[in-house]
A and B are shown apart, each in its own frame.
Chain A
Amino acid sequence: MNSKNSEKLSKIKQLVSKYGIALILVGMVILMTILKPQSFPSAKNILNILNQSAIVGIMALGMTIVIISKGIDLSVGSVLALAGVVAASLSQTSAASIKVFESLGQQPIFVAILAALAVGAAAGAISGGLIAFTGIPAFISTLGMMTIARGIVFLYTQGQPVSKLSDGMLFFGSNVFEVIPVPVIVYGIMIIITAIILGYTRFGKSVYAIGGNINAAEVSGIKVKRNIVLIYIFAGVTAALASILFTGRVASVHPGSATGYELTVIAATTIGGTSHSGGIGTVWGAVVGTLILSVLTNGFTLLGIDPYWQQIVQGMIIVGAVVLDMRKNAKKA
């Protein structure tokens, strides 16, 4: 091989290792545009993809912070359901036949939203507090929270779906100006907020320090315990926000809702390059990882491929993305 060629090759290699996962997304988009030039690149379809991304995407933002800190949060699916049924129960119209609170009239929408956020924050504070103050692994603490929260959902609803919701709540499943889905706007705002938190606040820097080297973080005077609690509160709040979008969209929250979402969220985060060894990860990665999953679903639907294949491909992408990242981060010998 001549030197020019090999130079080119090493340039490509650099590019791939720097933008690896974004390139996969671009590749998927190009491929779909070629295969379905009519339906895939339309504005309507793109907004649809973004709309489908919002719920998992917002939770992936929280999960990214958790995983950068070398933790994990298995409870986000159940917390979504819990915050969702609480929000829904507080926004049932008087026309509802089965009500969680028999005599409660219709509440203003902000009550439902605040209640959902409070539920998410409380669940996060409990999981995070257990991790920080008892030293149990995040996996265990949030596994417990996942099961407990789901149990509370069933108790709270007596196993019944919560439906007949106010217009205020249904707004979160609608479009503004007829075209832009509200979830896309909320997702966009959350991306910006999370990017600022992670990149430009002391809290964000501490998250990287705690995940990268907890000993260094401690010796540098970072209040590690307090930060860990905050990290899980943030994750809980993202689940609560997602629950509002979820409730607005489906208009009726079933107690079994969002089962297994935590794994999709972890998958999106992982594909986005956040390392489970801690200390590595970005907001942009989380967005790209989420979009890859959504484009995949959308593409398979448009192409009419058996949806079971989707699971197989999704699994391969998760593993492939991590292999790619490991190579990127491997110690230069």
Chain B
Amino acid sequence: MSDIEYILEATNIVKKFPGVDALKGVDLRVKKGEILGLVGENGAGKSTLMKCIIGIHPPTSGEIKFDGRQLNKFSTSDALSMGISYIQQELSPIEYRPIMENIWVGREPRNRFGLVDHKQMYEDTKELLLSIGMDEDPKMLVRDLTVAKQQMIEIAKAVSYDAKLIIMDEPTSALSGSEITELFSIMRKIKQEGKSIIYISHKLDEIYTITDRVVVLRDGEFIGAKAIDEIDVNQMIEMMVGRKVTDLFPKVKCEICDVKLEVQNLSSGKEFQDVSFDVREGEILGIAGLVGSGRTALIETIFGIRKRTAGHVFIDGQEVNIKSPADAIANGMAFLTEDRRLNGIFPMLSVKTNIIVANLNNLINKTGLLNTKLVNMKSLEYIDAIQIKTPSQDQLVMNLSGGNQQKVLVGRWLMTEPEILFLDEPTRGIDVGTKSEIHRLISQLAGQGKSIVMVSSELPEILGMSDRVVVLSQGKLTGILENSDELTQEIVMQYATNNMS
């Protein structure tokens, strides 16, 4: 045998859920001191495999060996004490407790009377936060942090276990550029200490930047393992999807007609001030800017979620006074929120109900009752169109993979066929193959004359999809750029950092 040392050897892992074979005999080996990328489409089984390793789900069958030891029937706390720590795909903070208690929960430092030593905990936290470049007060409640900071806290927590293997399930989906850089430098340090990391992401550029090796899963099966410098991105996508994805941004040039929505001198408190732009029928308007530049606040204000403190909004040339999302919906708008778990999903309801719930008025028959036939047809149509991976339309949404839960919401809003559609990070956490599907749907809607306003942190998406790009920087409009071949990521970034030469 070779003398490579593996920290983790999972062999022939099978995991069955009622109606779903999530893992069909997967092998996963992680070497000591390596960063292993784990990729695959939404629902491929990545998170499920990790949950088997950390002891959340016992595998139906298979063998797990960690640090040379065979593991049988173990709990999460066993896994943690053996040296495996885990950053979950879904953020899971204890919102009303301070940062320090979130980090040390279950292993709080104690004094000689056996009581929790708050001072020690405070200092440990302070030090830990500094080491990852944060200077928040450890006593701050986690709910008062932004989603990105909450994610950084989860990362700090996982690091603080001093584990031999850290599992990171899509840790960057809520992070901005500088935080991602910070995370990567933390990861490199961990690797230098001879520890290992499993890194899951749909952002393939990250996979190439940080990992040493990748393992590809598809439909619960092991497809292959490759050193990162032996596989190019097209090969990787082909392994993930099982076919060639030719066009990530299937943008059709559509006819752009009259101005549909016009915003004049709009402000909302400190979030953004004096922003004016318009969107025409059949146009896709991209909104770019750094995290915190006011992008989300801007569209939330137009949609009536946030209070407008100054400015006017016109639809079809008529001024409208939108004070609530209900007003906005009545005016033909729809909004796909960024924070889907908090603001959108009904986890205990079926996929079908989640898809149709914003559309009930169009699905009733003459007696005012739901037209079940139509409901089933429509929901199947959308499950098909955006390829939601679910055993049936009656599956509870909480049993879907993270990315598929997001697709359900995309489906819900696309189904309302709005006149004006706001999309906030429409493809976050969604795999490459489906990304292209969602882009095609968006493009199709624009082709039908709808107006689309799309916020995205992914510049390739902005450049690949938009007709024009509105750029914000620190709450101010810095440019409205016509999208052409000359427009590059660098130019947009210059406007976003307000650093024009």
Contact = CB atoms under 8 A, between A and B. Distances in A.
Contacts of A279: 94-97
A205 B116 contact: yes
A222 B118 CA distance: 19
Q: Which of A202, A223, A333 lies at the interface centre, i.e. has the most chain B CB atoms within 10 A of its CB?
A: A202
Interface in B80-103: 80-81, 86, 88, 92-97, 101-102
Given A208-B101, A212-B94, A213-B93, A201 B106 contact: no
Given A216-B94, A218-B56, A220-B107, 4 more contacts: A213-B95, A218-B76, A219-B76, A221-B106
Interface string A79-106: 0000000000000000000000000000
A186 interface: no
B95 A222 contact: no
B208 to A, nearest CB: 29
B97 A220 contact: no
Contacts of B80: 220-221
Among all A-B residue pairs, the 3 with the closest Cβ atoms: A221-B77, A212-B94, A200-B115
Contact of B95 (A212, A217, A332): A212
B105 interface: yes
A223 B94 contact: no
Contacts of A39: none
Given A196-B115, A201-B114, A201-B115, A222 B106 contact: yes
B81 A221 contact: yes
A322 to B, nearest CB: 16
Nearest to B157: A220
Nearest to A329: B96
Contacts of A200: 115-116, 118
Contacts of B96: 208, 212, 279-280, 329
Interface of B: 54, 56, 75-77, 80-81, 86, 88, 92-97, 101-102, 105-108, 110, 114-116, 118, 143-144, 305-307
B106 A217 contact: yes
Contacts of B54: 219
B115 A216 contact: no
Nearest to A222: B106
Contacts of B75: 221
A333 B118 CA distance: 31
A215 B118 CA distance: 24
Contact of B106 (A196, A206, A213, A331): A206
A280 B142 CA distance: 13
A72 to B, nearest CB: 19
A209 interface: yes
A215 B398 CA distance: 13
A4 to B, nearest CB: 21
Contact of B110 (A202, A212, A215): A202
Contact of B97 (A209, A218, A222, A333): A209
A202 B77 contact: no
A212 to B, nearest CB: 4
A86 B305 CA distance: 59
B106 A220 contact: yes
A219 B97 contact: no
A208 B144 CA distance: 17
Given A212-B95, A219-B92, A331 B105 contact: no
B105 A205 contact: yes
A223 B92 contact: no
A205 B108 contact: yes
A213 B107 contact: no
Contacts of B106: 202, 205-206, 209, 217, 220-222
Contacts of B95: 212-213, 279
Nearest to A219: B76
A329 B105 CA distance: 22
A215 B341 CA distance: 14
Contact of B143 (A196, A202, A216, A331): A331
A333 B88 CA distance: 26
A333 B81 CA distance: 39
B164 to A, nearest CB: 16
A216 B93 contact: yes
Contacts of B86: 219
Contacts of B105: 205-206, 209, 216-217, 220, 222
A279 B116 CA distance: 18
A201 B92 contact: no
Contacts of B305: 333
B94 A213 contact: yes
A215 B115 CA distance: 25
Contacts of B306: 333
A82 B429 CA distance: 55
A215 B77 CA distance: 13
A202 B116 contact: yes
Contacts of B110: 202
A43 to B, nearest CB: 35
B116 A213 contact: no
A279 to B, nearest CB: 5
Nearest to B102: A216
A215 B92 contact: yes
Contacts of A199: 116
A221 B107 contact: yes
A13 B230 CA distance: 62
Nearest to B79: A221
Interface string A121-160: 0000000000000000000000000000000000000000
Contacts of A280: 96
Contacts of A332: 144
Contacts of B56: 218-219
Interface string A216-243: 1111111100000000000000000000
Chain B CB within 10 Å — which of A212, A223, A280 has the most? Answer: A212
Given A212-B96, A280-B96, A205 B101 contact: yes
Contacts of A220: 76, 80, 105-107
Contacts of A204: 116
Nearest to A197: B115
5 contacts: A201-B114, A202-B110, A204-B116, A215-B92, A279-B97
Contacts of A333: 305-307
A329 B95 CA distance: 11
A222 B107 CA distance: 9
B94 A208 contact: yes
Nearest to B117: A200
A332 B306 CA distance: 11
A272 to B, nearest CB: 15
A187 B404 CA distance: 53
Contacts of A215: 88, 92
A331 B141 CA distance: 12
B159 to A, nearest CB: 14
A36 B115 CA distance: 45
A208 B97 contact: yes
A319 B367 CA distance: 39
A216 B93 CA distance: 7
Given A208-B101, A219-B86, A221-B107, A201 B94 contact: no
